[in-house]
Amino acid sequence: MRGDVGRIDPAVPVPSPEITELAPLVTYIKENPQLLRYRRFPWLDNFQASERQRLFALSVSLRFNESFMAKYADRLHPKINGDWDQDLPAKAAGIDQIYQDWSVRYQKGEAPKRIAIDQIKEVMKNRSPRPPRSIFEASSSEAIRKMGATKACGDIGVKDPDECVRAAIYSHDKIMDVMNINTYPGESNAFADISNLKVSIEVLDSSLKDPYLQGLWNYEKILREHLARPQDIRSDIFSDLVTSFEKAGDQKQLAQEKALNVLSVISTNGSDFILNEQLFNKVYWTPTPHFEPPNPKFVSLVRLSMALPYFDLVKPGNLYSLPANVISECDTSKYYHFWMSAFIFQQLRKAGFSKESAAAAVLVNHIGYRSLYDPFAANFAQDHPGFVILKADIAGVYSGIVFASRLGGSKPDEPLDFQSVLDSIREDRSYRDLMGSVASAAMPSAKAYMMFMKRLGVIPLWNQMKSEIGRDD
């Protein structure tokens, strides 16, 4: 299934080789404003992108002495030509000196100030609120939001509906805390959905006993090995990160937790994680960003976010972006649905929610997300390429929840067949509209919600998931 799945929005054209290889990004976006609906870079958000296009995106992140966004949008790399694809592992190794400098400063009792946390929070607080279009969104009234979560938790038939509602709202408000901000002001007008801010700061900020510095530095060395011999990759991103943190001195359980945290941070934006550079890569907070020297951990996460689509395409067998026991060659370049679902499930469990309510809340919020951002897609035919992607996304949610539920259990490495989950998703003809036309008119996303519940067979999928997540109890 690699490379043969269409885009979700048929109105957005697949970029031609001439566009993706010759035109600056800013020019391309100006000529194709509908691309801002996705906001991601054309050659990464598009799973039909070639190996050359994906490698080019990764190669830009290997050069880090100034703004990444400038390299994409301000004509520093208007063409894919020359020697950009030569000696990439050696170019990537330049980050070692920055990691070394940070390490020495830590040993001297100095912590480099990289993230202006107070200023970030102030910017977030003053952001323009989005309209309350969703029954699941924080900007909606409490009564409307509770109604939406109650409806969804009741529909799928959880054992404790009240706890499910609390978990759904907690995961959105406390774990993700979704925000929207213009992170790159200027002619590109690039927006990023900023979420998971607490863990992002934990991973990226500097402290004298930095819990992530050495582990991410270790991963840089693994990344260079993969970059030198991509066809020889036999590992996966999760095991590579766990190994990196274990080499830094962490026990396995803590190494797994840190690996999941790192993957949750890049999953908040996927391949456009790079748009966050003005928040996480500035020396100090000013209208004009300063990027030298860079935050090495941010550089590593940008590289990681851009390496996954490339390694997924060139690695033999299972995808690199998923754990080895998740059997899948379904390359949609949307690994973030799997990892964010696994992360939120784990966070809900830590917060004291039952396994069933935690799993249900993740599923409920995914349907709410779909209902808000892709309502038109609910009308696609079952065999429409865009609808196949929606099914792959919810299969990723399912698989991420099950994977996370097994971590620390008796069968953490039990095979999980992503493709069989995907194949099992069918329209649920028994599902009926119980909300009524009045509620549908009052809440614009309600009709889309009901369509997705039916078309994606959410209730049968939930019943199937319950049997999976209960195995390790």
Half-sphere exposure at residue 358, Cβ-oriented, CA atoms within 13 angstroms: 23
Q: What angle do CA 16, 335, 319 make, to 5 degrees?
A: 85
Please give the DSSP secondary-structure letter assigned to residue 80: S
Comparing 63-67, 175-179, 374-378, which segment has the lowest mean pLDDT? 63-67
| Whole-structure pTM value | 0.84
Domain assignment of residue 12, yes or no: no
Exposure b/e, 165-201, CB count within 10 A at least 16 = b: bbbbbbbbeebbebbebebbeeebebebbbbbbebbb
Question: Could you tell me what percent of the chain has a pLDDT over 70?
Answer: 68
Residue with the bigger pLDDT between 47 and 286: it is: 47
Residue 223 lies in a domain: yes
Cα atoms in the Cβ-side hemisphere of radius 13 Å centred on 322 = 33
Highest mean pLDDT among 38-47, 135-144, 309-318, 371-380: 309-318
Judged by DSSP in three states, 79 sits in coil
In a domain, 3, yes or no: no
Helix axes 197-204, 252-267, angle to 10 degrees: 120
- How confident is residue 201, by pLDDT bands cut at 50, 70 and 90? confident
Type of residue found at 346 = Q
What pLDDT is stored for residue 398 in this prediction? 96
pLDDT of 133 strictly over 90: no
Cα separation, 413 vs 73, in Å, equals 42
pLDDT band at 122 (very low <50, low <70, confident <90, very high): low
Average pLDDT over residues 173-200: 60
pLDDT at res. 4: 40
Between 373 and 300, the higher pLDDT residue = 300
pLDDT at site 196? 84
**156 within some domain:** yes
How many CB atoms are closer than 10 A to CB 108? 9
Q: Tell me, what's the pLDDT at 16?
A: 36
Helix 213-228 vs helix 237-247: angle between axes, to the nearest 10 degrees? Answer: 130
The residue with tokens 């969104």 is: 137
pLDDT tops 90 at residue 401: yes
CA atoms within 13 A on the CB side of 296: 24
pLDDT (average), residues 84-110: 89
How does residue 39 score in pLDDT terms, banded at 50, 70 and 90?
very low
Choose from 189-193, 354-358, 408-412, 437-441 the range with maximum mean pLDDT: 354-358
| 304 in Cβ contact with 219 (< 8 Å) | yes
Kindly state whether residue 10 falls inside one of the protein's structural domains: no
Residue 4, domain member (yes or no) = no
Domain that holds residue 32: 17-469
Query: Of 140-149, 327-336, 442-451, which has the strongest mean pLDDT?
Result: 327-336
Weakest-pLDDT range from 16-20, 349-353, 392-396, 403-407: 16-20
Bridge partners, residue 188, by sequence? none
User: 9 lies in a domain?
Assistant: no
pLDDT at position 46 is 54
Q: Measured on CA atoms in the order 149, 434, 402, 270, is the torsion positive or negative?
A: negative
pLDDT of 218 above 70 = yes
d(CA 233, CA 251): 25
Residue 334 C-alpha from the chain's centroid: 7
Residue 215 covered by a domain: yes
Question: To 5 degrees, how large is the angle CA 142–CA 145–CA 147?
Answer: 105
Number of domains in the chain: 1
